[in-house]
Amino acid sequence: MLVLFESPSGFAIFKVLDESKLEVADKIQEHFSTAEGASNLLKLKHFKKFEDTTEALAATTAAVEGKLCKPLKKILKKIVAKDAHENLAVADAKLGQAIKEKVNLPCIYSPAVQEVMRGIRAHVDSLITGLPARDMTAMALGLAHSLSRYKLKFSPDKVDTMIVQAISLLDDLDKELNNYVMRCREWYGWHFPELGKVVTDHLAFAKVIKKMGFRTNASKTDMSEMLPEEIEEQVKGLAEISMGTEISDEDICNIRYLAEQIIEITDYRGQLYDYLKNRMMAIAPNLTILVGELVGARLIAHAGSLLNLAKYPSSTVQILGAEKALFRALKTRKETPKYGLIYHASLVGQTNPKNKGKISRMLAAKCALAIRYDALAEETSTEMGIENRASLEQRLRALEEGGSKRLSVGGKGKFDKWVNKSEVRMYDNAQDSTIPAPKKRKIQELNTTVKDESEEENEKPSLVVADGNLEQPPKKKIKKEKKVSVAEETSIVETPTKSKKEKKKKKKRESEISETPETSIVKVESSEDAEPEVKKKKKKKKAKAEQED
């Protein structure tokens, strides 16, 4: 029987000299009590040493996961294949199954095999010859550290402590650099005050001071590398008519030294920013794509670490950095802040004030997902951050254009409620009374009804001739139109004051309304008066005829 033993230095294959001693598992440890007993029971047949720690880590992780690595597969094919009739004792059942499937070797895993592995581990120095004990210890220690890093998914590039320190130092440098520049401008302003008004860039201002020194040297100094031609000519012209005071050589030396410090700090700040940018892309690439290097680094520094930031919900990420304003608003029962450090992100900055709250909320939700993906994913990529940023930019464009409010493709659209856009009306108080009250008519309706009545009366013949006698036709009842109820004057919204022309038209309409019924009445009266006059003439004719007779 053969025994496969995995050690930190390599793979060892032992030959069991007496298999009868392994039948009883409880008595196996008696044979391994001494190194001589172990050497009498086992004999080293082959040993494959690992070339480096990387190979040792790959072989050990494969054995832990129950997989067969390539070096072990080659050993089994070359050596064990010769003794194919013998069984192979392994320390893991999964590894034995993998060997049986790929190499077609019968494997054994039992309590007796475990006792043999324990005995080999106790006397490995005497059983494996050719390796010093010091080398074995060093290889075991290196493999232990590598295996721990692998299990914890640890990588030196993933250390977020460097980001916390770098962003803190960057903020300190900005403050100190601002103080130095203001001090330099104020100090050199006593000698050449016009220079500070013309040169607004701090770095260019410090370089000009370092190169020029006294203002009297302006005409001899070449400032083309630091300033444009127009500003250079303007500086040289102002230096001749400057109202500044004269200073000593010692003063200008100290001012120049301060300018050198400003230039050096500015250069170091640029290097530190590049270092921070590379670190952020290595540790949190998706967060960096969404909010930028500085905002992402400040979020990590505020939370303490990337893992702590990954535990925060999106609502906390949104207001992270505005804790004072939040608790002050809660205490005074006012509106809570909508954003904290995330306000300085480019997506929020380019939005109009009306949509800043919406964009910050959506950006915080995407940032929470990106942070968890960066902190906990085995293999990080930038696809998630690029897709989320593209969707946020599309949503921002839709908000600015006033488009649809749908957040997702599968969601249902929300429609505006129907609003009655008719004129404002109020309740008619006259309807509360049970006594019939005369209702008002509109002017247009009065005009139409009066005109219809006048036309009907004009169409009627005043007299009808029948058998030589004049008869009056029967009067037909004119159906009265239904009166339209008109609300009170208070219920109708008053229109603005009309012009003089409209008032004149209104007066003409009222006069026509008053005149039309009178004319129709006159016509009717004339037809009624005509009948008695005809009867009187008939009586006179009859009287004359009787007298003649």
Give pLDDT tens digits for 512-541: 555 544 433 334 344 444 444 445 555 666
Pair (167, 103) in one structural domain = no
Residue 533 lies in a domain: no
Residue 167 lies in a domain: yes
Q: Look up the pTM and report it.
A: 0.50
**What count of other Cβ atoms lies within 10 Å of the Cβ of residue 414?**
9
pLDDT tens figures, 388-397:
999 999 999 9
How many Å apart are CA 59 and CA 63, to the nearest integer?
A: 6
pLDDT digit string (tens) for 314-352? 999 999 999 899 999 999 999 988 889 999 999 998 888
* Whether 57 and 75 share a structural domain: yes
Give the pLDDT score at 157: 54
Share of the chain above pLDDT 90, in %: 32
DSSP alpha helices (H): ranges in 293-422? 293-303, 306-310, 314-318, 323-332, 346-349, 356-376, 383-401
* Domain total in the chain: 3
Q: From CA 313, how far away is CA 364, in angstroms rounded?
A: 9
Least confident span in 12-21, 408-417, 458-467, 486-495: 486-495
Residues 53/146, Cβ–Cβ less than 8 Å: yes
CATH number at residue 62: 3.30.420.220
Question: β-strand 88-89 against 107-108: which pairing, if any?
Answer: parallel
Is 23 inside a domain boundary?
yes
Tell me: the pLDDT tens digits for 252-294?
999 999 999 999 999 999 999 999 999 999 999 999 999 999 9
- 214 and 77 in a single domain? The answer is no
Q: Which residues contact 505 (CB under 8 A, 6 or more apart)?
A: none
**Number of Cβ within a 10 Å radius of residue 80:** 19
How confident is the model at residue 298, as a pLDDT? Answer: 94
Same domain? For 254 and 320 the reply is no
Per-residue confidence band for 421, with pLDDT thresholds at 50, 70 and 90? low
Q: Do residues 109 and 175 both lie within one domain? A: no
Looking at 155-164, 169-178, 298-307, 492-501, which range is the least confident one? Answer: 492-501
Residue at a domain's end among 350, 377, 401? 401
Collect all residues with Cβ–Cβ distance below 8 Å to 532 and sequence separation of at least 6: none
Residues 127 and 8 in one domain: yes
CATH, residue 266: 1.10.287.4070
> Residue 458 domain-assigned?
no
Cα separation, 506 vs 502, in Å, equals 6
Question: What pLDDT shows up at residue 11?
Answer: 83
pLDDT at 106 over 50: yes
Give whole-number Cα distances, 338 to 311, 312, 324, 327, 389, in Å. 20, 16, 13, 13, 20
424-427-433 Cα angle (round to 5): 155
What's the confidence (pLDDT) of residue 520? Answer: 39
Q: What is the pLDDT of residue 258?
A: 95
Give tens-digit pLDDT for 201-216: 999 999 999 999 999 8
Q: Evaluate whether residue 11 is within a structural domain.
A: yes
The phi and psi torsions of 424 (rounded to 5 degrees) equal: -75, 130
Lowest pLDDT segment from 112-121, 238-247, 448-457, 474-483: 474-483
Can you give the pLDDT at residue 454?
55
pLDDT of residue 512: 59
**Do residues 292 and 385 both lie within one domain?**
yes
Integer-rounded Cα Rg, in Å, for the chain is 53
Structure token pair of residue 499: 């012009």
The overall average pLDDT reported for the chain is 77
Are 10 and 116 found together in one domain?
Answer: yes
Most confident of 81-85, 119-123, 248-252: 248-252
Q: How far is CA 81 from CA 44, 77, 78, 106, 389, in A?
A: 17, 5, 6, 11, 58
Domain end point (choices 223, 247, 272)? 272
* 41: nearest Cα among 53, 54, 28, 25: 28
For 35-56, how does the pLDDT look when each residue is reduced to its tens digit (9 = 90+)?
888 888 888 888 888 888 888 8
Are residues 134 and 252 part of one domain?
no
pLDDT at 295: 95
pLDDT recorded at residue 467: 44
Q: Nearest 5°: phi and psi at 516?
A: -65, -45
Q: 51: domain range?
A: 2-152
Domain contains 14: yes
pLDDT for the residue numbered 521: 39
Q: Within a domain: residue 368?
A: yes
Mean pLDDT of the region 420-426: 54
With residue 269 as reference, give the H or E element that holds it.
helix 249-283
- Does any domain span residue 423? no
Round to whole Å and give the CA distance between 473 and 471: 6
Catalogue the long-range contacts made by 420-423 (C-beta closer than 8 Å, 24 or more residues apart): 423/492, 423/493
Clarify whether residues 138 and 18 are in a common domain. yes
Q: How many CB atoms lie within 10 A of CB 63?
A: 21
> What's the CA gap between 162 and 202, in Å, rounded?
29
Segment 142-198, tens digit of pLDDT: 888 887 777 666 556 567 889 999 999 999 999 999 999 999 999 999 999 999 899
The tokens of 516 are what?
């039309």
Query: Domain holding 359: CATH number?
Result: 1.10.246.90
Last residue of a domain, one of 401, 430, 447: 401
Sole residue written with tokens 């127009």: 230
Number of Cβ within 10 Å of residue 348's Cβ equals 23
Q: Which of 97-111, 121-135, 361-375 has the highest mean pLDDT?
A: 361-375
Residues of the chain above pLDDT 70, percent:
71
